[in-house]
A = this chain, B = another copy of it.
């Protein structure tokens, strides 16, 4: 069945690598975080995640649904409303994505000053 003794993201055609590459995407990570603990509708997500186009939002949601992270619920209203929420599996993963988001927000100041120092050094 599976020819890999164990999964390894460093191997270019390991399934874990392929999957890992789909996760290493800004829209995926932002979306997972945006949905943490609060289901949202399509247009709300589009508004909350600044800069995402309907096309990209749509395809990213579809992929995450396929991977089992997101549940798509069509509301029986006119006009139709569609609610996106995390599955328990998605909730689990979002704990990890949150850490990256959080780390970035917490450490950006330090990165910015490292960049300034580096750039000044190059200029000399």
Contacts and interface: CB of A to CB of B under 8 A. Distances in A.
Contacts of A25: 24
A110 B110 CA distance: 37
Interface string A4-17: 00111111100111
- Identical subunits present: 2
Determine the main DSSP class of A at the interface with B.
Answer: helix
A118 B66 contact: yes
A16 B108 contact: yes
A114 B67 contact: yes
Interface in A79-124: 89, 93, 96-97, 99-101, 103-105, 107-108, 110-112, 114-115, 118-119
Interface of A: 6-12, 15-17, 19-21, 23-26, 28-30, 33-34, 48-51, 65-68, 89, 93, 96-97, 99-101, 103-105, 107-108, 110-112, 114-115, 118-119
